[in-house]
């Protein structure tokens, strides 16, 4: 599990700080294009706020459409950070080292993007303050803590705060490296951020304990976040087909599936963009592929249970939703595409060691998972709403408008842009973690074979 | 007599550990010696003293405060804006669980982070004796001791193969 060569500290600093100390030629053109996409989205949101939600395809009975689908999707992606960083850190998995920071940062930016979605969805974003902020604004109205729609922001804000602090704490030693490798204003900024870090034994001990302790504390939050997102549906009084007890674990495993796939793809992109072949190696992508087989199969089990138990009970609402998903055009097409892209294509590709080590094939598999997982959320939300429900006396299909397509598309540009800007000022691969891996590397002679090994401290 | 720092810069972990041994032989107390590195070496790699800390207390205090805040927030908002539903209590306990749970975890995590910063003795407002080569893989052995002992420290550093010795 250690295929690369041992690198000197000087080489590690030079390579991993390249994205910060030198600007690649493609950087600003890509940032400009992404910025323009966001500008178009901002105009679309502006028009939507001005004219109202009528410009979207949202109407009775489908009040939740692309925006909420996208919200759940990005919350799902955000589960990559803790899955990789915390679980692998607690399990002392050696191959986690280059992947943790990118996963944590992807968590932050996808969470921020997810939070934008319900705000946009309200149509009158400022009113969200009345809804979730625990203050009455002199109107005598306090948030209703009995609804999952209030639990949701409390969980997401906890997760966002925790993940941000997790990233910042792990960045402190790297800030010190940047402080020592920069001059002028950059040096002053990194000096403030490094807080006087000098790397003594006490600081390192606390840093290691902090990694484990924060991982252990964030894990329960990570499980709670997507569980509570699933309760937005599972505890909604009006839509009976969403009343599924399996929703919370099903959502959590699905989130890990899409999130880890997204991290694998992000790592491949980083390797290509910054030439980090010595750090993000085939063995790391291979390990992620193997992990994903387990996660995908766990997720598939929950999917089958969800459908099987839903239909076995023969409840009218549940059967109507399944009928929509399996027989009505275009939902039947989306359903087949969803199952194939989320499970059968990627898992078939991941079963081969050679394919797991082929970065093009891994990229296709990871993108395939995320296309499927987006469709999964869409197929939970919209078919559940287009059928007759309690308090709803209209039947209507959902046709998303161009505004929704633009805003949804721009969220992918937003996350990419934020990741790129982050990589411009902070290292996306943790320097000290990679250096520690090299310090602890050794080789063991077993018979006539020399086997790579790692020293591990308990 | 004033205590002043002196820093030895070493290009390998072994020579830094040798310097630590030399300092011990010279009678420099372990509490006066710090090993500065750019990566976490296994504890005791340089023969340094064990660093006790009280970080584990912080999350418990934070969790308690977070839970209290969660209970107050959820109960007071329900009382402040009563949702009168036939046969149901105004103050309903089950829906408070989620917000209280999140408050508990948030408090625990916030206090853990504060604990990490506090226990790491950060932020360090006044920059001490340091060498930027430490983040290039060199190892610094920082000794904060009486000026009269600096001669013995320099000897220990020299015998261990220091590439540079710096004084404030």
Q: What percent of chain B is modeled with pLDDT above 90?
A: 57
Q: How far apart are CA B162 and CA B141, in angstroms?
A: 9
Q: How far apart are CA B28 and CA B35, in angstroms?
A: 14
> Poorest-confidence range of A234-243, A261-270, B152-161?
A234-243
pLDDT at A364 > cutoff 80:
yes
pLDDT at A368 > cutoff 80:
yes
Residue with tokens 């839903």: A310
Q: What is the DSSP string of A25-53?
A: TTHHHHHHHHHHHHHHHHHHHHHHHHH-G
List, for residues A193-235, the tens digit of each pLDDT value: 999 999 999 999 999 899 889 999 999 998 999 999 999 998 8
Q: How far apart are CA A383 and CA B120, in angstroms?
A: 53
pLDDT at A150 > cutoff 90:
no
Q: Which tokens sit at A372? A: 């499927």
State which residue of chain B sits closest to A225, comparing Cα positions. B102
List, for residues A16-32, the tens digit of each pLDDT value: 998 898 888 999 999 99
pLDDT at A129 > cutoff 90:
no
pLDDT for residue B112: 96
pLDDT at B34 > cutoff 80:
yes
Question: Which of A157, A181, A214 is facing B112, going by the closest CB pair?
Answer: A214
pLDDT for residue A371: 96
Q: Is the peptide bond before A18 cis (omega within 30 degrees of 0)?
A: no
**DSSP-derived pairing of the beta strands B3-10 and B33-36:** unpaired
CB A65 within 8 A of CB A374: no
- Residue of A194, A202, A433 to mutate, interface with B, max B Cβ within 10 Å: A202
Q: How far apart are CA A108 and CA A156, in angstroms?
A: 11
Give the residue with greater pLDDT, A124 vs A403.
A403
pLDDT at A391 > cutoff 80:
no
pLDDT for residue A455: 66
Q: How far apart are CA A208 and CA B96, in angstroms?
A: 35
> Poorest-confidence range of A133-142, A208-217, B61-70, B105-114?
A133-142
> What 3-state class would DSSP assign to A18?
helix
Average pLDDT over residues A174-187: 93
Q: What is the DSSP string of A110-163?
A: HHHHHHHHHHHHTSSGGGHHHHHSSS-TTTT----TTSHHHHHHHHHHHHHHHH
Q: How many CB atoms lie within 10 A of CB B104?
A: 23
Q: How far apart are CA A397 and CA A388, in angstroms?
A: 11
Average pLDDT over residues A268-294: 91
Q: Output the average pLDDT for chain B.
A: 90
pLDDT at A457 > cutoff 70:
no
Phi, psi dihedrals of residue B91, rounded to the nearest 5°: -95, 100
- Banded model confidence at residue A55, pLDDT cuts 50, 70, 90: very high
- Burial track A367-395 (b if 16+ CB lie within 10 A, e otherwise): ebbbbbbbbbbbbbbbbbbbbebeebeee
- A-B interface: how many C-beta pairs under 8 angstroms? 184
Question: How would you class A423 by CB atoms within 10 Å of its CB: exposed for 0-12, middle for 13-18, buried for 19 or more?
Answer: buried
Q: Which tokens sit at A213? A: 């302790």
pLDDT for residue A3: 66
DSSP-derived letter for residue A167 is H
Q: Which tokens sit at B30? A: 């372990």
- Banded model confidence at residue A131, pLDDT cuts 50, 70, 90: confident
pLDDT for residue A4: 66
Rounded to the nearest angstrom, the minimum Cα separation between B5 and chain A is 14
Q: What is the CATH number of domain A9-454?
A: 1.20.1630.10
Q: Which tokens sit at B112? A: 């853990």
From first CA to last CA, the distance across chain B in angstroms is 16
Enumerate domains of chain B plus CATH numbers. Answer: 3-51+126-167 (3.30.70), 57-119 (no CATH)
- The percent helix, strand, coil of chain B (3-state, each to 5) is 50, 15, 35
Name the nearest CA neighbour of A413 among A38, A29, A24, A161: A38
Average pLDDT over residues B31-49: 88
- Contact call for B80 and A136, based on CB within 8 A: yes
Residues of chain B in contact with residue A155, where contact means CB-CB under 8 angstroms, are: 98, 102
Q: How far apart are CA A372 and CA A207, in angstroms?
A: 38
- Banded model confidence at residue A187, pLDDT cuts 50, 70, 90: very high
Q: What percent of chain A is modeled with pLDDT above 90?
A: 62
Most confident of the ranges A37-51, A114-128, B22-36 = A37-51
Residue with tokens 């099987």: A308
Is A215 at the interface with chain B, CB within 8 A? no
Which helix (H) or strand (E) segment holds residue B99: the answer is: helix B96-119
Q: Output the average pLDDT for chain A.
A: 89
Q: Which tokens sit at A415? A: 């996350």
pLDDT for residue A57: 92
- Has this prediction a pTM greater than 0.90? yes
Rounded to the nearest angstrom, the minimum Cα separation between A336 and chain B is 36
Q: How many CB atoms lie within 10 A of CB A38?
A: 15
From first CA to last CA, the distance across chain A in angstroms is 20
pLDDT at A1 > cutoff 60:
no
- The domain locations on chain A are 9-454
- Residue of A8, A136, A154 to mutate, interface with B, max B Cβ within 10 Å: A154
CB A152 within 8 A of CB A229: yes
Residues 149-168 of A with CB under 8 A from B: 150-151, 154-155, 157-158, 161-162, 165
Is A140 at the interface with chain B, CB within 8 A? yes
Q: How far apart are CA B16 and CA B8, in angstroms?
A: 8
């Amino acid at each position: 599990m250690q295929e690369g060569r041992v690198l000197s500290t000087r080489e590690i600093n030079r390579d991993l700080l390249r994205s910060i100390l030198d600007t690649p030629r493609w950087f600003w053109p890509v940032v400009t294009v992404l910025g323009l996409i966001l500008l178009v989205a901002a105009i679309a949101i502006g028009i939507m706020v001005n004219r109202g939600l009528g410009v979207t395809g949202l109407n009775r009975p489908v009040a939740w459409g692309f925006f909420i689908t996208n919200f759940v999707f990005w919350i799902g992606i955000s589960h990559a950070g803790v899955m990789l960083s915390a679980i692998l850190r607690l399990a002392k998995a050696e191959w986690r080292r280059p992947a943790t920071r990118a996963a944590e940062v992807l968590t932050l930016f996808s969470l921020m993007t997810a939070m934008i979605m319900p705000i946009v969805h309200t149509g009158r974003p400022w009113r969200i303050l009345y809804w979730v902020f625990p203050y009455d604004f002199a109107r005598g109205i306090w948030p209703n803590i009995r609804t999952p729609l209030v639990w949701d922001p409390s969980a997401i804000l906890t997760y966002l705060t925790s993940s941000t602090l997790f990233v910042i704490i792990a960045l402190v030693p790297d800030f010190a490296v940047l402080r020592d490798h920069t001059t002028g204003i950059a040096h002053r900024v990194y000096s403030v951020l490094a807080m006087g870090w000098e790397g003594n034994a006490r600081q390192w001990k606390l840093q290691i304990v902090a990694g484990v302790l924060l991982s252990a504390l964030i894990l329960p939050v990570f499980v709670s976040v997507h569980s509570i997102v699933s309760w937005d549906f599972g505890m909604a009084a009006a839509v009976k087909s969403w009343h599924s007890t399996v929703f919370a674990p099903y959502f959590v495993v699905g989130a890990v599936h899409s999130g880890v796939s997204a991290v694998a793809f992000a790592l491949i992109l980083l390797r290509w963009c910054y030439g980090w072949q010595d750090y993000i190696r085939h063995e790391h992508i291979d390990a992620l592929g193997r992990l994903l087989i387990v996660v995908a199969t766990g997720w598939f089990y929950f999917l089958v249970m969800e459908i099987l138990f839903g239909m076995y009970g023969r409840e009218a609402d549940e059967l109507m939703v399944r009928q929509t998903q399996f027989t009505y055009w275009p939902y039947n097409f989306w359903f087949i595409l969803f199952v194939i892209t989320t499970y059968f294509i990627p898992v078939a590709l991941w079963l081969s060691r050679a394919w797991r080590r082929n970065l093009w094939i891994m990229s296709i598999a990871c993108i395939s998972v995320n296309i499927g997982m987006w469709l999964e959320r869409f197929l939970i939300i919209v078919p559940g709403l287009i059928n007759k429900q309690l308090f709803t006396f209209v039947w209507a299909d959902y046709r998303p408008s161009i505004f929704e397509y633009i805003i949804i598309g721009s969220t992918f540009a937003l996350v990419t842009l934020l990741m790129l800007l982050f990589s411009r000022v902070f290292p996306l691969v943790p320097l000290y973690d990679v250096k520690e891996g090299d310090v602890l590397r050794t080789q063991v002679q077993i018979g006539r074979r020399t086997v790579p090994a790692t020293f591990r401290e308990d | 007599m004033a205590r002043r720092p002196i820093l030895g810069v070493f290009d390998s972990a072994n020579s830094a550990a040798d310097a630590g041994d030399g300092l011990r032989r010279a009678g420099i107390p372990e509490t006066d010696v710090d090993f500065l590195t750019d990566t976490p070496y296994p504890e005791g790699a340089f023969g340094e003293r064990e660093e006790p800390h009280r970080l584990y207390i912080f999350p418990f205090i934070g969790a308690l405060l977070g839970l209290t805040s969660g209970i107050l927030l959820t109960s007071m908002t329900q009382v402040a804006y009563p949702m009168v539903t036939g046969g149901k209590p105004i103050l309903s306990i089950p829906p408070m669980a989620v917000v209280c749970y999140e408050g508990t975890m948030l408090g625990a995590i916030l206090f853990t982070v504060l604990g990490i910063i506090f226990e790491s003795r950060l932020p360090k407002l006044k920059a001490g004796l340091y060498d930027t080569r430490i983040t290039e893989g060199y190892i610094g052995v920082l000794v904060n001791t009486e000026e009269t002992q600096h001669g013995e420290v320099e000897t220990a550093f020299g015998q261990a193969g220091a590439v540079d010795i710096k004084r404030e």
